Structure 1
């Protein structure tokens, strides 16, 4: 059996040019020994010949080394020729052609007007994202309308699973949040109202705050952070693993298969979670009012019944489906924007939570203005 020698490289001047003599087996197994010599080879002459006559064995690793050396010398302005590579020339050219060109990127300018360019660039990207999100919303609404018209097309197994994840599994954290919000409102309200001898009005403060605003708003925020992030992560992982492409290949619509059941589960469960938050918020407020102000539960319930109109509960519940639609659409849209890596999944999940919470708060502000104009 013939033992091939380790490769070697030396540079010699000859007739006004530099000759790079390469000898030994240029195999991948020896790259660690010879890579530094190739990287340091930098003849000053403008005419360079790479002599491969004494190279008995040659594979893609060796071809890559020679290709990189030739490219580096050519970029330095040298004229490079390959000699003695009759048996290896085809492999060398194949590797050279397959190696991607690395285009150096210009560093961003830091002139006085660069911030204007950044603002314009961000506005363009934001406008494109907004159009994409609106388009995705339209596709989701079409899918929801389709299953309303044809209920037999509902994917019940997927819907029930998502309802359990979104709704039943979230009841403990929603109940605890509502209870603590009621406790905080009762304690703070008592502290302030005692200064004016109006402690009894703490019932109205708690009732209107919880039923009209805080109950459903904080529930939507928790659902956006809990379920919205889960939607983005799960669907985004499917995008990375090309499962969504496989669905399209099979003729399935990813929006109707993946998005519609999740959004429908949110539309059903978010109002119920908001109602749970309201109940526990009132319970926490009643408990703190009893402890701090001696407003017994009977008086609390009586004042709540006499002074808090049902319209306050309805105002809060009307917001729930809109919050659910915003959370579901944003979460799934962000998942569809994932670009083939786990890092992208993490970034999109973060963006999903941030955008979902922001849009929920913005939508709540619009509802407040709307109902104020109506006098409700």
Structure 2
């Protein structure tokens, strides 16, 4: 059994003497660390003559005690003297953190770095779009290579599986719009216009917009996480090695599923929101449920439906591109998967909202306001 390190503190003529005994190695001095750090009183000398073995950790402890008590180290062997000489002047009290720049310098520098990285990101997105178009052209020339099973599977995941949560969300949004709208319109005695409010705002704007946000958080993040994990486990590289294009096998089915299902999900969400508004109208406003639905056909112009249906596939394309692009950019470690997944959701939602504002102005200029 290995001998443990020991120490003894004695009072001598010239002051207290700390005698260290035994092996002072990283494996033996752990039990003495707190005791040696808490020694009271001034120590005049640290005696190492009884130390059988010593390493850098043991020498550092002796050096630290001597420095703290302004003591002299005696009895050191040749090896101990070399280690003590190497540690001479080293202090653990130094500030290891780099000095922080002032805010008027730090903030512009951070903004400039983000702008520079945005240029790199824009180049990456353009390159990804180019690769996507080339792959789509190859599939158009060779339709047998198109993976219909993968597309059907993604349609199920993006569309069918999302029906419950999107339906519930839209139903509750319709209830909120109808209830709050009725409260505000009651001040003007126009509660019956709640039908107009619910019908137009859901079919034209909120139905598709909220669906796109939900799909971005649900399916866009899944695209990024799935593809990012495949990149880390080198499955994407293995597909390239055996002659399978990752763009054709992984990216295109996911983007097509988003584009195809978004109009259906958006229209479904609008219908569920209208049903929620009809429930509020029946319970609070005295408008019968079926009368509310019949009035929707009268007060909502047909072009409002077309506005929502035109925007939906564009939003689906944005969500699919954001998820797949960020997933294919993962490299390095598993932390990158989480970072890229977050980036895919944030960038998709931001782009969807910006495009929705553009569409609002565009269709108003066309006279579909």
2:136 is equivalent to residue 118 of structure 1: no
1:27-69 alpha-carbon deviations (Å, 9 max, x no partner) = xxx98469981345579xxxxxx99xxxxxxxxxxxxxxxxx9
Residue range with higher mean Cα deviation, 257-266 or 146-155: 146-155
- Distance in structure 2 (CA, Å) of the matches to 1:121 and 1:267: 34
> 1-side partners of 2:232 and 2:99: how far apart?
31
**1:230-263 superposed Cα distances (whole Å, 9 cap, x missing partner):** 1111111111111112122223322222111110
When normalised by structure 1's length, the TM-score is: 0.72
Write out aligned runs for 1:1-376 (5 A): 32=27, 37-41=55-59, 107=98, 109-111=100-102, 112-148=104-140, 150-376=142-368
Unaligned 5+ segments in structure 1 are 7-29, 44-49, 52-68, 77-104
Deviation at 1:355, TM superposition (A): 1.4
Q: Measured at CA, do residues 243 and 206 of structure 1 come closer, stay the same or move farther in structure 2, by a change above 3 Å?
A: same
> 1:133, 1:330 within 8 Å by CA — same for their partners in 2?
no
Describe the superposition over 1:304-361 as per-residue Cα deviations: whole angstroms up to 9, x where unpaired: 2222111101101111111111111111111122123221111211121111111111
SS of residue paired to 1:113: helix
**Contact 1:207–1:282 (CA<8 Å) still a contact in 2?**
yes
Q: Structure 1 CA distance, aligned partners of 2:337 and 2:313?
A: 27
Counterparts of 1:184 and 1:145, CA distance in 2: 46
Deviations 1:63-117 (A, max 9, x none): xxxxxx9xx959x9xxxxxxxxxxxxxxxxxxxxxxxxxxxx9936504433322
TM superposition shift of 1:118: 2.0
Counterparts of 1:32 and 1:352, CA distance in 2: 49
2:140 & 2:194 partners in 1: Cα distance? Answer: 43
Residue 177 of structure 1 aligns to a residue in which SS?
A: helix
Measure, in 2, the Cα distance between the counterparts of 1:375 and 1:292: 34
CA–CA distance in 1 between the matches of 2:312 and 2:283? Answer: 32
